[in-house]
Amino acid sequence: MISTNDFKRGTVIKMDNVLFSVVEFQHVKPGKGGAFVRTKLKNVIKGTVIDKTFRAAEKVEDVRLEKRPMQYLYDEGDTLVFMDTESFEQESISKEIIGDLLKYIKEQDVVEIIMYDEKPISITPPETVVLKVVYAEPGLKGDTATNVLKPVKVETEAEVRVPLFINQGDYIKINTSTGEYVERVKQ
């Protein structure tokens, strides 16, 4: 058990058999009445964010999650197969758990798998990934002075908005948390 006074960003708690991560917290001591802790909690599995207020020093169940670096090996229909980089054990993980992050990982990439009770509950890809542009409309010559963006398709089938000078065959760096273009990369 952990006191609400001990909350930190990233603390994982269990409420109603659901895992939540503390995104924001604020200790409030009003002029009248008891102190309380106002929080924003993110559902670890679904990704939804809720607001919850706790009494100060209220006890909640804290959870210890294990993070393991694993390499993505191959797609197996409804699951993806990952290999633990230390023990070389293979683990099949449902595409449902991975969700939209599947657009930013490719075979041989190493990601962090978050485990709870020896079961994978989510993944954390690298902060940025470098992917090859497989389809891009040609940009107009001389149209580089503006901040106009165009959609391109990368090798993982993700669609990313990039500057007009990016062409098919270029490699680009993408921020996995926002899905935004960062820079062109020489290969």
pLDDT in tens, 43-72: 887 778 999 999 988 899 988 888 899 999
Cα–Cα distance measured from residue 72 to residue 168, given in angstroms and rounded to the nearest whole number: 25
Predicted local distance difference test score (pLDDT) of residue 142: 62
Could you give all domains of the chain from N- to C-terminal order, each with its CATH number?
2-62 (2.30.30.30), 66-124 (2.40.50.140), 128-185 (2.40.50.140)
Distance of CA 8 to the CA centre of its chain: 19
Query: Which pLDDT does position 183 carry in this prediction?
Result: 92
What is the structure's pLDDT at 50? 93
Q: Where are the alpha helices (DSSP H) in 68-174?
A: 95-98
Q: How far is 112 from 86, CA to CA, in rounded Å? A: 12
Q: What is the pLDDT of residue 173?
A: 94
pLDDT of residue 147: 77
Closest by CA position to 12, among listed 3, 1, 20, 4: 20
Pairing verdict, β 36-43 and 49-55:
antiparallel
Structure token pair of residue 130: 């470098």
H or E segment to which residue 107 belongs: none
Give me the tens of pLDDT residue by residue for the chain, a chain 187 residues long: 888 888 888 888 999 888 898 889 999 999 888 899 999 998 887 778 999 999 988 899 988 888 899 999 999 989 999 999 999 999 998 888 888 888 888 889 999 998 888 888 888 888 899 999 999 988 666 666 667 888 999 998 899 999 888 889 999 999 988 889 999 998 7
CA 90 to chain centroid: 22
Beta-bridge partner residues of 41: 22, 50
Q: What is the pLDDT of residue 70?
A: 94
